[in-house]
Homo-oligomer: A and B are copies of this chain.
Amino acid sequence: MITSFHPPQRTLMGPGPSDVSPRVLSALARPTIGHLDPLFVQMMDEVKSLLQYAFQTKNTLTIPVSAPASAGMETCFVNLIEAGDTVIVCQNGVFGLRMQENVERCGAKAVLVQDDWGRACDPQKLEDALKANPDARFVAFVHAETSTGAITDAKTMCDIAHRYDCLTIVDAVTSLAGNPLYVDDWGMDAVYSGTQKCLSCIPGLSPVSFNNAAVEHIKQRKTNVQSWFLDLNLVMGYWGKGAKRAYHHTAPVNALYALHESLLMLKEEGLNQAWDRHQIHHQALKAGLDALGLDLVVPESERLPQLNAVRIPDGVNDAQVRAILLQDYQLEIGAGLGVMAGKVWRIGLMGYACRKDNVLKCVSALAEVLNRVQAPVAHKQTMAATLAAYGE
């Protein structure tokens, strides 16, 4: 017998979805209006302008794709890449591998430049690959690897790519609103993100932005984009400026209310303040983890504040700890992915979830559960260390 589903109130400190602000949930539930309604079209224009702020770009083609971030990734690849192209894909985790998949499904050749999981992409390796592959016209990399918590120096990577006459495709799924990201200043030609990380919004949409060079490239394709749904030549007609819109697909109206509200909250807080907030709570979390004797996988200089990959201590059962945290504390932290499965926990501090009460809850719960399962840790000192990081 199926009845209405009433989810519990979890605290989401995994790799995403992260906690959604009550303001956003409330916007989400407002009455649905038509996707061609003049008031909705006006709201779409506001979403575009707020996204430009979040991405720090003047790109006209800055829109949310009506599907999750993996579709945003695909939007970048299927629109820019044609069969026979060569694409340098820098890979240091799960999402670089997914980029490779995308390239190959476009009938193009992916040249993989690999770095260790948990490390940034090495700009020197990129430059070497570009020298070795003079036919490459695209460079793709992940700014903030959600699978490991490593950040890559996006500006340097874009500079190098441009020196070799390549367009850049950048994954900013976890970085948007969580750490500094300047799409225009850093020269990202195409970038995609998600709504379920540092934007404090529900999962299901993928903000993307394309500069003029990318748009020109798309307009001059020799072949049709292989996806009708993601073909930006058609999507641009729908998200174009002003009241005259060409019907393409039915926009996810309520999800866009939510995104509008979350972007507005970001604007109210200010990007710099949001970036600082992620850093502050990351430092406190780190102090607590240190006191628990837990190590972060990523070296300090390459570490994301919003995604903390923590090495699981020997003898501790990964799944058991996560299950207790979920059942007894309503606290979700993430498992490891790929080669890190079973070896790390991923603790997210993203958007609305990135708060002092959550940091204290997480550190305190981890201390208690580790004590419970076998690994004795000093609870009192842990909390003192965490609070000290807040200057208390």
- Interface of A toward B, CB cutoff 8 Å: 2-10, 12, 14, 16-17, 19-20, 23, 25-35, 37-40, 43, 46, 49-50, 66-71, 73-74, 78, 98, 101-102, 104-106, 194, 196, 202-204, 224-229, 247-255, 257-258, 260-261, 264, 267, 326, 332, 337
Known contacts A31-B7, A31-B8, A40-B7: does B68 contact A16 (CB below 8 Å)?
no
Given contacts A16-B250, A69-B249, A254-B258, list 15 more A-B pairs with CB under 8 A: A5-B43, A6-B30, A7-B30, A12-B32, A17-B253, A25-B29, A29-B29, A70-B229, A73-B229, A102-B228, A105-B227, A105-B228, A106-B226, A204-B204, A255-B255
Q: Is B46 in contact with A33, judged by CB distance below 8 angstroms?
A: no
CA distance A250 to B71 in the complex (A): 11
Q: Would you give the shortest CB distance from A2 to chain B, in whole angstroms?
A: 5
In Å, the complex CA distance between A5 and B6 comes to 26
Which B residues touch A68, using CB under 8 A? Answer: 66-67, 229, 249-252
Q: How far is the CB of A38 from chain B (nearest CB, A)?
A: 8
B32 near A202 with CB under 8 A, answer: yes
Contact A20 B33 (CB under 8 A): no
CA distance A182 to B34 in the complex (A): 29
Q: How far is the CA of A95 from the CA of B392 in the complex (A)?
A: 63
When the two chains form their complex, are residues B228 and A70 in contact, meaning their CB atoms are under 8 A apart?
yes
- A–B pairs, 22, beta carbons within 8 Å: A2-B267, A3-B264, A4-B23, A5-B257, A10-B34, A12-B33, A12-B34, A14-B34, A17-B34, A66-B204, A67-B229, A68-B251, A69-B249, A69-B250, A70-B229, A73-B229, A74-B227, A104-B224, A203-B250, A204-B252, A204-B253, A252-B255
Return the chain B residue nearest A16 by Cβ.
B250
Residue of A49, A225, A254 with most partner-chain B CB within 10 A: A254
A9 touches B31 (CB 8 A): yes
Contact A74 B105, beta carbon cutoff 8 Å: no
* Complex A-B, nearest 8 residue pairs according to Cβ-Cβ distance, in ascending order: A204-B252, A29-B29, A67-B67, A70-B249, A20-B32, A203-B250, A202-B254, A25-B29
A122 nearest CB across to chain B (Å): 26
* A331 CA to B31 CA, complexed, in Å: 13
Complex Cα–Cα for A227 and B250 (A): 20
Minimum C-beta distance from A254 to chain B (A): 5
Bound form: Cα–Cα A228–B194 in Å: 17
Q: Is the CB of B203 within 8 A of A253?
A: yes
Whole-angstrom distance between the Cβ of A67 and the nearest chain B Cβ: 4
Chain B residue contacts of A35, Cβ below 8 A: 17, 203
Q: How far is the CA of A37 from the CA of B14 in the complex (A)?
A: 11
